[in-house]
Amino acid sequence: MSSQDVTATFQSFLDLLSAKKWDEAAEALQPKVIYNGKDNTNDELVKHFAEYMEEDNVTHTRMDGIRVHYDGKSIGARQIMRSEDADGKRIESWGLIMVFFENNKISRYYLILHQPHLFPPPSESLAPIPAPQPPLNPMSADELREFYHVYINGYNNGTMPFEIPKRFTEVVTLNGEPFDRDLVPSFFEKALLPIIAGLWYTVEEMVIDLEKQRIFVRLALEGVSKNERLRKDETEGGRIKVYEQAMYDFHDGRITGGWAVQGFDMTPP
């Protein structure tokens, strides 16, 4: 599928959910669907979404910040859920999604919801993710892939403070908040590294949008956690495996912005 086709196909699925057309929504899925790593039938997955939307009174869902893989078979985006409270007040919350297609139907769906105590919190109307600037010197798929692997491995091998100055623009936007590049390493050292201490990043999936110079990644963090809060999920041998999803915008060889959500407790230890 083309970028426009795959985007329209998935937005149509979200529109069917918003309209509570459950049978038609199920038809947009493969008979067997992997959702967040677990096997589901299409009816089971739609039932899960229906129950979630009813419980949270979700009236509409849409996406922005879209990136489409160059083969037209997967996308990554921010998914925005609009709900209403008992007084009719509108609230928008969000998560990051990675979706794969087979024969024009959804076959895999990964969603991690943003934790509401982190920035940006739910609000009446979430600001849209800006469109990317047209690149003057676009990177190839291999260059984007290699660039990102070196960056994320910096968290594993301790070179993150040295990689960020080489790979970020002077001002970078993280989850919608502008940061001076020089302040980013110390921010991550305080807000992230103590939480993930003992865990190792690996890239499990990547969407590369060559036209927009954007990527989306599904990251696994695995190891023996030094954070007591995460040890409740440990398996035999004390190891755990948790997930993060993130998306990044590039311009002329540097990261200009990113969004990330974690599927684990981000409360500082």
What tens digit of pLDDT does each residue of 145-189 get? 999 999 999 999 999 999 999 999 999 999 999 999 999 999 999
Q: What are phi and psi of 3, to 5 degrees?
A: -60, -40
What tens digit of pLDDT does each residue of 117-136 get? 998 999 999 999 999 989 88
What tens digit of pLDDT does each residue of 166-178 get? 999 999 999 999 9
90-102: strand order across its sheet: 38-41, 29-35, 105-113, 90-102, 74-84, 58-68
- Give the Å distances, CA to CA, from 83 to 21, 57, 66, 124: 18, 5, 22, 9
Residue corresponding to tokens 């959804």: 106
Q: Which residues of the chain form beta strands (DSSP E)?
A: 29-35, 38-41, 58-68, 74-84, 90-102, 105-113, 168-174, 177-180, 199-209, 214-224, 239-251, 254-262
Which pTM was predicted? 0.95
What tens digit of pLDDT does each residue of 29-80 get? 999 999 999 999 999 999 999 999 999 999 999 999 999 999 999 999 999 9
Q: 3-state DSSP helix/strand/coil percent for the chain, to nearest 5?
A: 30, 40, 30
- Residue 1 confidence (pLDDT) above 90: no
For the chain, what is the radius of gyration of the CA atoms? Answer: 19
Q: How far apart are CA 233 and CA 240, in angstroms?
A: 6
Give me the domains of the chain, ranges plus CATH numbers: 3-113 (3.10.450.50), 141-262 (3.10.450.50)
Q: How far apart are CA 211 and CA 72, in angstroms?
A: 12
- Residue 110 confidence (pLDDT) above 80: yes
User: What mean pLDDT value characterizes the chain?
Assistant: 96
- Residue 238 confidence (pLDDT) above 90: no
The amino acid sitting at 17 is L
